[in-house]
């Protein structure tokens, strides 16, 4: 692996240096102005999968994913962004491993990799419906087989009902909170 990286690094560096040297020798004055007038680099989207939610070329649209992708998750929670700070607090996800170890029936469970994904609820539904999400040229498989699949989905009644109809949620799913509507002062 290191030999391949060294080879690629030295080869690509040599090509870049030779190209730059050839341009500089052909026209020294135009080479100086060309470097200041280059257009912005736009990374090409290689392939867009139809029906998959995709974030390509947008600012501030990458989901918050906390945990390690590629390592088997202990617990996966899909939620909307408003829950992120509460979920990741010391009182909830921070206290969860200690609570698990204190329960004799769960003491042997691994809780080393808790993955929390926060996105707007319609995108969570679309990810589960389509089986993935594209982040530019990176596609994350969202399936039971990949392990990147929610154990808990936190959302409002309408998205949870859609997920129930899709068979994502089990019949015993329940709301974790309720409100009495808007408050007025």
Whether 91 and 97 have beta carbons less than 8 Å apart is answered as no
Least confident segment among 43-52, 70-79, 95-104? 43-52
pLDDT tens readout for residues 23-59: 556 555 555 554 567 676 665 666 667 777 776 655 5
Q: What are 123-175's pLDDT values in tens digits?
A: 889 999 999 988 777 788 999 898 899 998 988 888 888 988 988 888 776 76
Query: Rounded to two decimals, what is the model's pTM?
Result: 0.65
Q: Please tell me whether residues 102 and 26 are part of one structural domain.
A: no
Residue 65 and residue 110 share a domain? yes
Instruction: Yes or no: say if 148 and 141 are a contact pair by the CB < 8 Å rule.
Output: yes
For residues 60 and 24, membership in a common domain is answered with: no
Domain count, the chain: 2
Residues 80 and 121 in one domain: yes
State whether 69 and 19 are in the same domain.
no
> Bigger pLDDT: 71 or 42?
71
Nearest to 52 by CA among 158, 160, 128: 128
Domain housing 112: 54-165
């Amino acid at each position: 692996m290191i030999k391949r990286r060294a080879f690629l690094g030295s080869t690509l560096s040599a090509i870049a240096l030779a190209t730059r040297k050839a341009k500089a020798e052909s026209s020294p004055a135009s080479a100086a102005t060309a470097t200041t007038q280059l257009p912005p680099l736009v990374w090409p989207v290689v392939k867009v999968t139809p029906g998959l939610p995709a974030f390509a070329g947008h600012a501030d649209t990458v989901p918050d994913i906390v945990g390690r992708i590629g390592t088997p998750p202990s617990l996966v929670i899909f939620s909307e962004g408003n829950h992120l700070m509460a979920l990741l607090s010391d009182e909830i996800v921070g206290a969860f491993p200690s609570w698990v170890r204190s329960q004799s029936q769960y003491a042997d469970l691994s809780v080393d990799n808790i993955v929390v994904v926060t996105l707007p609820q319609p995108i969570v539904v679309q990810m589960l419906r389509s089986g993935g999400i594209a982040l530019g040229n990176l596609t994350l498989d969202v399936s039971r087989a990949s392990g990147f699949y929610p154990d808990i989905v936190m959302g409002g009644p309408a998205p949870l009902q859609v997920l129930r109809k899709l068979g994502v949620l089990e019949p015993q799913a329940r709301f974790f909170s309720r409100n009495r509507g808007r408050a007025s002062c």
